[in-house]
């Protein structure tokens, strides 16, 4: 199966309690593509950069099997830039600068040879741009997943609701789920979000893991819920990109296997969580770039061990 992703390809400036990474490679589509590249080779990327984006980094993406025919390069402009500073607990961050640059008038064009993609991951971007991409497909892909953020929930809610009605999976964090639905209980929030369109909902809870909800309109009795842990880590170095890395591992595993059963969706959440657990160990894509299949499988084995228990069903148990 093949995967198309859109999102930013950008520069980040990141301050954490452990150091300062100046003008390093970032962007939702970058993290998504690199993470997914450990699961499949056929990845098509739609985005835009300026002439300042290093060609070595584009070569690296190509070396991971990422097709860049859909990446617009505006030689006379500058790439999207974000600067942020994390507080001591690493759970909250302050945005210090956001320079849209090439993103200000981004008009995504899906090349014709991209339009057979089976899986689509719409990384965090203006909801209207996410919608433009969906509308360029002559026939509906097998699965469309979407990420968004608090900024669009407050500033472009109508557009966001429109595109939510067109996708299968929404991937957001717990605070965003609450903001989008005005429900504190995530179980209630999931019901509201399902009514907006997505059958599948992944709520990321950072160090507390993730919840996967499946809603069946035809048979409510088959609604399902899955609780995936996060790996308890002694050191979290930099959380930037963890959510995108999760999304890339999740959709990459689904595209690799082509299996949309709930059992396989659960495995995809575990693989996404494993990829995210690597991402936070270093700045930028540094840790993601040095992975291999063995390291990923060993990490997944730690997740298996972490939550594994065996309830003794002998009558004497109670």
Q: List, in order, residues 6 or more apart from 213 with CB less than 8 Å away.
A: 190, 194, 200, 201, 202, 203, 223, 224, 225
Burial class from Cβ neighbours inside 10 Å (0-12, 13-18, 19+) for residue 267 reads middle
Name the residue nearer to a second copy (CB basis): 195 or 306: 306
Name the residue nearer to a second copy (CB basis): 27 or 249: 249
The answer to whether 276 and 202 have CB atoms below 8 angstroms apart is no
One-character DSSP codes across 210-279: EEEEE--SS-GGG-EEEEEPPPP-S-----TTHHHHHHHHHHHHHHHH---SHHHHHHHHHHHHHHHHHH
Name the residue nearer to a second copy (CB basis): 73 or 291: 291
Name the residue nearer to a second copy (CB basis): 128 or 296: 296
Name the residue nearer to a second copy (CB basis): 100 or 296: 296
Name the residue nearer to a second copy (CB basis): 62 or 87: 87
Closest approach of a second copy to the CB of residue 180, in Å: 17
CA angle 30, 3, 201 (to 5 degrees): 85
Interface residues with a second copy (CB under 8 A) are 38-39, 88-89, 184-188, 205, 208-209, 211, 225-230, 232-236, 256-257, 263, 266-267, 270, 293, 296-297, 300, 304, 306-307, 309-312, 317-318
Q: List, in order, residues 6 or more apart from 72 with CB less than 8 Å away.
A: 47, 48, 49, 102, 106, 109
According to DSSP, the β-strands at 224-228 and 10-16 are: unpaired
Name the residue nearer to a second copy (CB basis): 155 or 185: 185
Closest approach of a second copy to the CB of residue 185, in Å: 5
Which conformational region is residue 5 in: left (phi greater than 0), alpha (psi within -120 to 50 degrees), or beta?
beta
Closest approach of a second copy to the CB of residue 296, in Å: 6
Closest approach of a second copy to the CB of residue 278, in Å: 14
CA angle 177, 182, 184 (to 5 degrees): 70
- R_g (Cα) of the chain, nearest Å: 19
Whose tokens are 């450990």? That residue is 38
Closest approach of a second copy to the CB of residue 14, in Å: 19
d(CA 96, CA 169): 31
Closest approach of a second copy to the CB of residue 221, in Å: 14
Closest approach of a second copy to the CB of residue 148, in Å: 22
Name the residue nearer to a second copy (CB basis): 97 or 309: 309
Closest approach of a second copy to the CB of residue 273, in Å: 11
Q: How far is CA 278 from the centre of its chain?
A: 14
Closest approach of a second copy to the CB of residue 231, in Å: 9
Per the DSSP assignment, residues forming a β-bridge with 163 are none
Name the residue nearer to a second copy (CB basis): 26 or 209: 209
């Amino acid at each position: 199966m093949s995967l198309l992703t859109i999102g930013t390809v950008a520069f980040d400036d990141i301050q954490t309690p452990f150091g300062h990474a100046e003008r390093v490679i970032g962007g939702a589509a970058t993290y998504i593509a690199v993470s997914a590249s450990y699961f499949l080779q056929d990845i098509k990327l739609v985005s835009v950069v300026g002439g300042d984006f290093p060609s070595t980094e584009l070569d690296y993406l190509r070396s991971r099997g990422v097709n860049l025919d859909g990446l617009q390069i505006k030689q006379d402009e500058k790439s999207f830039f974000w600067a942020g500073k994390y507080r001591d607990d690493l759970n909250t961050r302050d945005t210090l600068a956001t320079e849209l640059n090439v993103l200000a008038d981004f008009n995504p064009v899906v090349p014709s040879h991209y339009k057979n993609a089976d899986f689509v991951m719409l990384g965090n971007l203006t909801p209207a741009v996410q919608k433009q991409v969906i509308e360029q497909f002559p026939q509906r892909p097998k699965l469309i997943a979407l990420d968004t953020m608090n900024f669009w929930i407050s500033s472009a809610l109508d557009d966001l609701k429109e595109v939510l009605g067109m996708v299968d999976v929404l991937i957001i964090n717990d605070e965003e789920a609450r903001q989008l639905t005005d429900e504190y209980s995530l179980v209630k929030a999931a019901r509201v979000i399902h009514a907006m369109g997505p059958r599948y909902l992944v709520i990321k809870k950072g160090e507390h893991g993730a919840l996967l909800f499946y809603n069946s309109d035809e048979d409510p009795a088959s609604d399902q819920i899955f609780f995936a842990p996060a790996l308890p880590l002694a050191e979290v170095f930099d959380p930037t990109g963890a959510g995108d890395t999760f999304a890339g591992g999740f959709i990459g595993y689904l595209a690799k296997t082509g299996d949309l059963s709930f059992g396989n969706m659960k495995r995809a959440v575990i693989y996404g969580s494993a990829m995210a657990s690597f991402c936070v160990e270093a700045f930028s894509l540094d840790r993601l770039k040095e992975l291999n299949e063995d390291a990923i499988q060993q990490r997944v084995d730690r997740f298996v061990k972490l939550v594994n228990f065996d309830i003794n069903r002998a009558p004497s148990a109670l």
